[in-house]
Chain A
């Protein structure tokens, strides 16, 4: 049974597991809500009573510092009670063990699980097995989805370029293993950008990439031309054993974003990266720290977008 995540009549999101299947209106509403929180934060209003009395559990089966921190911060700023559970994936087994953990937490009247797991579909599985009164938010599952990261990326883009429908976007890097890329592709397509292209080493591109609704480029020097946004992805050298990943020098030569390459893009082209960065591999320091980079802003926007999504899931 698939969990329902589309908004109810009241606009409440039951779950937030994937961008796939969500309508443009819903995504726009998330971005608009994030705007209100961001604006308030800019006025030094840091705490909101929105989720007072609600209990949120960060259920992290995979190590994470940045994502966990931003979720914790977002929930705290909405006045929710927050519990962080770091569970060892290897100690959870098929069968009742994982479900037992969930039911124990449910029995404590938790309202929302924020789940990070190394298996694709983990958040979906958990959402299918919790009670109706509990919501599930996907904080990254295997290679499937990282929808809040995609939304904060879209939010960052929109703050600089509200005319999303005019934008030409390029995503460069390990698409095959990237849950961020999958969610970005779905979010940007749903929001209706003018064009969306990907470029990756052939070993790091899914065979059926066209099914995701993107164009595939094969030369970065040409692909950057006319682009308004370039999103670079991290080279995951820990994947070297399962597929061939070009070495650092080879990678930079073919797929690295240098100042020279960025100069071929449209003036003011935004440079983005979900982090952490391999400097001088997928992106040169002069670009990552340069005037067109919004990488640090992405991190900052993570709290506002997560506050928006949490409030849309839990507020009455």
Chain B
């Protein structure tokens, strides 16, 4: 063993002609393997680069599962994520996590999103210059952008001047306050406090106007609606520096899944209509949506032990994220190469990361999957410590067999 691995891969779905992947002793992808390399036979399996999650991890909640955040981050690696973003209010958590000795558990690379406003209080701007000096190039304000228009304008101006990208949710604070469901059929039937689509479009219009004014780069997080996508389309057509993602949750579930007060599907932003869901899938095909994020919000059992409106919003998604992506491929909505774009290449581009992928010089973050293995998801049996998921009991085709971080094997399915 000379710390060099050679993986001979058949890639039945990929358009890539690459059939072997070689790593040097530092875990970096190299063009040609050395003659004395160890080899791993990946016959029948597919090699994919490690995924990058634009959803923000480690944000505060009173209902995190046991072992959080370390065990949840380790679970992310087993689920194929090599990089995850970290919420702006969680710098201390991510630093503690990085400082800890993780000889037992491999962790994904953490990408810190800085605070748009000091302490996310939406009162004054944080110190952008200092953050830029510390290497942060992404800012956000969690789930709530400041209402103050002058503050938002200032934030976008200063971010633009420092070459930083704003990561913004698009939910108007007033219109979504206390809401727990899409303003549609189910909310009308179940008497749930609604969040109208205009909560998204109004905030999108404001953000787009600010981008137009300042030239600040913005990444729009977790879009949910057809109307929202139309605004993004116009903005992109105008050449504005805007990118957008939606979550795997919003691509597969809709307001219908709230039927019977299913608290596992209480998420924010809310699951919208089936027409909205279909528009999001069309957005993947057309390129209007640049990336798919997980929307992963791990919660303990207590978080959902209440009547629906009083439950904590969020669900666990990392265990099914890749399988759902593969379903998009199986259902011929997108090609496998497009799935890689949406979960790896474009997120890397948005986060200004280089050396991501399977080409020469990239870090050795990747996974082997069996694209044809059938399995059934159970939240209790998943890698995530959170049992709440709207995908409980779903059957999937395609499963991760092994993952590598920095060229080191960190997970093998059979060893579970």
Known A125-B261, A207-B196, A208-B183; judge A142-B191 contact (CB<8 A): yes
How far does the Cβ of A98 sit from chain B's closest Cβ, in whole Å? 7
Q: Mark B306-336, 1 if CB is under 8 A from A, else 0.
A: 1111111000000000000000000000000
How far does the Cβ of B1 sit from chain A's closest Cβ, in whole Å? 50
Bound-complex Cα distance A121 to B185 (A)? 16
How far does the Cβ of A186 sit from chain B's closest Cβ, in whole Å? 9
Known A144-B191, A208-B185; judge A95-B307 contact (CB<8 A): no
How far does the Cβ of A143 sit from chain B's closest Cβ, in whole Å? 3
Q: Mark B170-196, 1 if CB is under 8 A from A, else 0.
A: 000000000000011101111111101
Q: In the bound complex, do residue A120 and residue B308 qualify as a contact, i.e. CB atoms below 8 Å apart?
A: yes
How far does the Cβ of B82 sit from chain A's closest Cβ, in whole Å? 34
Known A95-B302, A207-B183; judge A143-B191 contact (CB<8 A): yes
Q: Does A96 contact B (CB under 8 A)?
A: yes
How far does the Cβ of B201 sit from chain A's closest Cβ, in whole Å? 14
Q: In the bound complex, do residue B192 and residue A120 qualify as a contact, i.e. CB atoms below 8 Å apart?
A: yes
Q: In the bound complex, do residue B187 and residue A208 qualify as a contact, i.e. CB atoms below 8 Å apart?
A: yes
Q: In the bound complex, do residue B189 and residue A117 qualify as a contact, i.e. CB atoms below 8 Å apart?
A: no
Q: In the bound complex, do residue A125 and residue B194 qualify as a contact, i.e. CB atoms below 8 Å apart?
A: no
Q: In the bound complex, do residue B308 and residue A119 qualify as a contact, i.e. CB atoms below 8 Å apart?
A: yes
Q: Does B305 contact A (CB under 8 A)?
A: yes
Q: Does A122 contact B (CB under 8 A)?
A: yes
Bound-complex Cα distance A30 to B308 (A)? 29
Q: Does A94 contact B (CB under 8 A)?
A: yes
Q: Does A282 contact B (CB under 8 A)?
A: no
Instruction: Select A207's contact among B184, B191, B260, B307, beta carbons within 8 Å.
Output: B184
Chain A residue nearest to B177 in the complex (CB): A242
Known A94-B305, A96-B302, A142-B309; judge A124-B189 contact (CB<8 A): no
Q: In the bound complex, do residue B191 and residue A120 qualify as a contact, i.e. CB atoms below 8 Å apart?
A: yes
Within A183-220, the residues touching B (CB, 8 Å) are 206-209, 211-212
Q: Mark A142-161, 1 if CB is under 8 A from B, else 0.
A: 11110000000000000000
Q: In the bound complex, do residue A209 and residue B311 qualify as a contact, i.e. CB atoms below 8 Å apart?
A: no
What residues of chain A lie closer than 8 Å to B307, measured between beta carbons? 117, 119-122, 124-125, 141-142
What residues of chain A lie closer than 8 Å to B193, measured between beta carbons? 120, 143
Chain B residue nearest to A206 in the complex (CB): B188
- Listed residue (B185, B310, B312) with the most chain A CB atoms within 10 angstroms of its CB: B310
What residues of chain B lie closer than 8 Å to A125, measured between beta carbons? 261, 263, 306-308
What residues of chain A lie closer than 8 Å to B303, measured between beta carbons? 94
What residues of chain B lie closer than 8 Å to A95, measured between beta carbons? 302, 305-306
Within B108-148, the residues touching A (CB, 8 Å) are none
What residues of chain B lie closer than 8 Å to A142, measured between beta carbons? 191, 307, 309
Bound-complex Cα distance A5 to B311 (A)? 23
What residues of chain B lie closer than 8 Å to A121, measured between beta carbons? 190, 192, 261, 307-309
Bound-complex Cα distance A207 to B335 (A)? 37
Q: Does B13 contact A (CB under 8 A)?
A: no
Q: Does A32 contact B (CB under 8 A)?
A: no
Bound-complex Cα distance A285 to B303 (A)? 48
Bound-complex Cα distance A207 to B175 (A)? 14
Within A115-133, the residues touching B (CB, 8 Å) are 117, 119-122, 124-125
Q: Does B63 contact A (CB under 8 A)?
A: yes
Instruction: Select B63's contact among A94, A120, A179, A182, beta carbons within 8 Å.
Output: A94
Chain A residue nearest to B185 in the complex (CB): A211
Q: In the bound complex, do residue B306 and residue A98 qualify as a contact, i.e. CB atoms below 8 Å apart?
A: yes
What residues of chain B lie closer than 8 Å to A117, measured between beta carbons? 307
Bound-complex Cα distance A96 to B300 (A)? 12
Bound-complex Cα distance A64 to B139 (A)? 49
Q: In the bound complex, do residue A207 and residue B188 qualify as a contact, i.e. CB atoms below 8 Å apart?
A: yes
Q: Does A99 contact B (CB under 8 A)?
A: yes
Q: Does A20 contact B (CB under 8 A)?
A: yes
Bound-complex Cα distance A94 to B300 (A)? 11
What residues of chain A lie closer than 8 Å to B310, measured between beta carbons? 94, 119
What residues of chain B lie closer than 8 Å to A143, measured between beta carbons? 191-193
What residues of chain B lie closer than 8 Å to A316, measured between beta carbons? none
Q: In the bound complex, do residue B187 and residue A94 qualify as a contact, i.e. CB atoms below 8 Å apart?
A: no
How far does the Cβ of A197 sit from chain B's closest Cβ, in whole Å? 16
What residues of chain B lie closer than 8 Å to A119, measured between beta carbons? 306-310
Instruction: Select B190's contact among A94, A96, A98, A120, beta carbons within 8 Å.
Output: A120
Known A94-B63, A94-B312, A119-B308; judge A211-B260 contact (CB<8 A): no
How far does the Cβ of A200 sit from chain B's closest Cβ, in whole Å? 12
Bound-complex Cα distance A95 to B306 (A)? 7
How far does the Cβ of B65 sit from chain A's closest Cβ, in whole Å? 13
Q: In the bound complex, do residue A94 and residue B311 qualify as a contact, i.e. CB atoms below 8 Å apart?
A: yes
Known A117-B307, A119-B310, A120-B308; judge A208-B188 contact (CB<8 A): yes
What residues of chain B lie closer than 8 Å to A8, measured between beta carbons? none
Bound-complex Cα distance A126 to B295 (A)? 28
Q: In the bound complex, do residue B194 and residue A207 qualify as a contact, i.e. CB atoms below 8 Å apart?
A: yes
Q: In the bound complex, do residue B188 and residue A179 qualify as a contact, i.e. CB atoms below 8 Å apart?
A: no
Bound-complex Cα distance A125 to B310 (A)? 11
Bound-complex Cα distance A271 to B303 (A)? 45
Q: Does A91 contact B (CB under 8 A)?
A: no
A94-B63, A95-B302, A121-B308 are known; give 20 further A-B pairs, CB within 8 A: A20-B189, A94-B306, A94-B310, A96-B305, A119-B306, A120-B192, A120-B307, A121-B190, A121-B309, A141-B191, A142-B309, A144-B190, A206-B187, A206-B188, A207-B188, A207-B196, A208-B183, A208-B184, A208-B187, A208-B188
8 A-B pairs within 8 Å (CB atoms) are namely A94-B305, A120-B191, A120-B261, A141-B307, A142-B309, A182-B189, A211-B188, A211-B189
The 4 A-B residue pairs with the shortest CB-CB distance, nearest first, are A143-B191, A95-B302, A144-B191, A119-B307
Chain A residues in the interface with B (C-beta under 8 A)? 2, 20, 93-96, 98-99, 117, 119-122, 124-125, 141-145, 179, 182, 206-209, 211-212
